[in-house]
Amino acid sequence: MRKRSIALRGARKFACRYDMFHFHVSIGLAIYLARRIFSVSPLPFFLIYLNAPCIKSTKLVRRNSFCRFFMLETIIDLIRHGEPAGGRRYRGHGVDDPLTEKGWLQMWTAVGEHKSWQHIVTSPLLRCREFAHALGERHSIPVTVEPRFKEVGFGEWEGLSHDAVKIDRIDAYRAFLRDPVGCRPQGAEPLDDFVRRVSSAYDETLSRHQGRHYLIVAHAGVIRAMIAKTVHASPSGLYRIKVSNGGITRIRHSAEGGVLELLNGKLAD
């Protein structure tokens, strides 16, 4: 048993030294390239090197830690689904309409020939999921379905046209516009709960794909919640953000946090 324990300790020390050796080599190469090839300051790499003894060796080989050390950026593109069948109505997660031909065209036009994403994450609802899988298949990009990216629930307004609500429920409609947090439609998902649901999924997705460029296919409400999280806006202001069918939003994350770069745009290669 004693020999086995000694052997295990020796193996761990070897593994640590092995990781540190590769770390030293990588830093040395980075400093050389910075000074001789790219003519930029090697100071950031010296700072990383000086702080290395404070970092556990097991974290050196983890991609997320590597991204934090070198401040690699994460680019998140968001696209709202195109026009769904059934006309303009309150369509939360209780109504699962597919896209119309116009809706498909809106989305394909928005992405163009862009194919630099390393992963696609989508809402489970048809108006998002079908396009996400079609795009992934076209460019051989893996697709993940994230249930927490489904649209907010509208309760008894689900499936009703906007005009019907404005005419038949005018008082409730006006109250909703004034206070979308406190005056929800009966049976609707609380807005604070919705924002927490989307935020938790967004944080996990960001952590999982740190340092990468990926696409989220989702809904107006979901995209509004992500924008509000990025710019530190309160849920009461969500419905003051216009998100168009097929519109592209881009958020860029670095060591300093997220920055909203694009809203309702299109991509072109």
Instruction: Give the pLDDT confidence of 219-244 residue by residue, as tens digits.
Output: 999 999 999 999 999 999 999 999 99
**139 or 67, higher pLDDT:** 139
What per-residue confidence (pLDDT) applies to 6?
Answer: 52
CATH number of 74-265: 3.40.50.1240
Most confident of 57-61, 66-70, 126-130, 265-269: 126-130
Q: Distance of CA 112 to CAs 115, 267, 268, Å?
A: 9, 6, 6
Q: Residue 122, SS3?
A: strand
Instruction: Give the pLDDT confidence of 151-207 residue by residue, as tens digits.
Output: 999 999 999 999 999 999 999 999 999 999 999 999 999 999 999 999 999 999 999
Answer whether residue 3 shows pLDDT above 70.
no
The answer to whether 125 and 86 are in contact (CB under 8 A) is no
Q: Residue 263, SS3?
A: strand
> What are φ and ψ of residue 158, in 5° steps?
-55, 125
What per-residue confidence (pLDDT) applies to 56?
Answer: 43
In whole angstroms, what is the distance from residue 75 CA to residue 252 CA?
Answer: 5
Q: Where are the domains of the chain?
A: 2-69, 74-265
Helices (H), the chain: 2-32, 43-51, 57-60, 63-70, 101-111, 126-139, 162-168, 170-178, 191-208, 220-231
Which candidate, 247, 253, 256, places its Cα nearest to that of 222? 247
For residue 161, the cross-strand partners are 89
Instruction: Give the pLDDT confidence of 63-92 residue by residue, as tens digits.
Output: 555 555 455 799 999 999 999 999 999 999
Answer whether residue 4 shows pLDDT above 50.
no
Instruction: Give the pLDDT confidence of 29-68 residue by residue, as tens digits.
Output: 665 555 555 555 555 554 554 455 544 444 434 555 555 5
DSSP letters for 133-183: HHHHHHHT--EEE-GGGSPPP-GGGTT-BHHHHHHHTHHHHHHHHH-TTTS
What per-residue confidence (pLDDT) applies to 59?
Answer: 43
What per-residue confidence (pLDDT) applies to 255?
Answer: 87
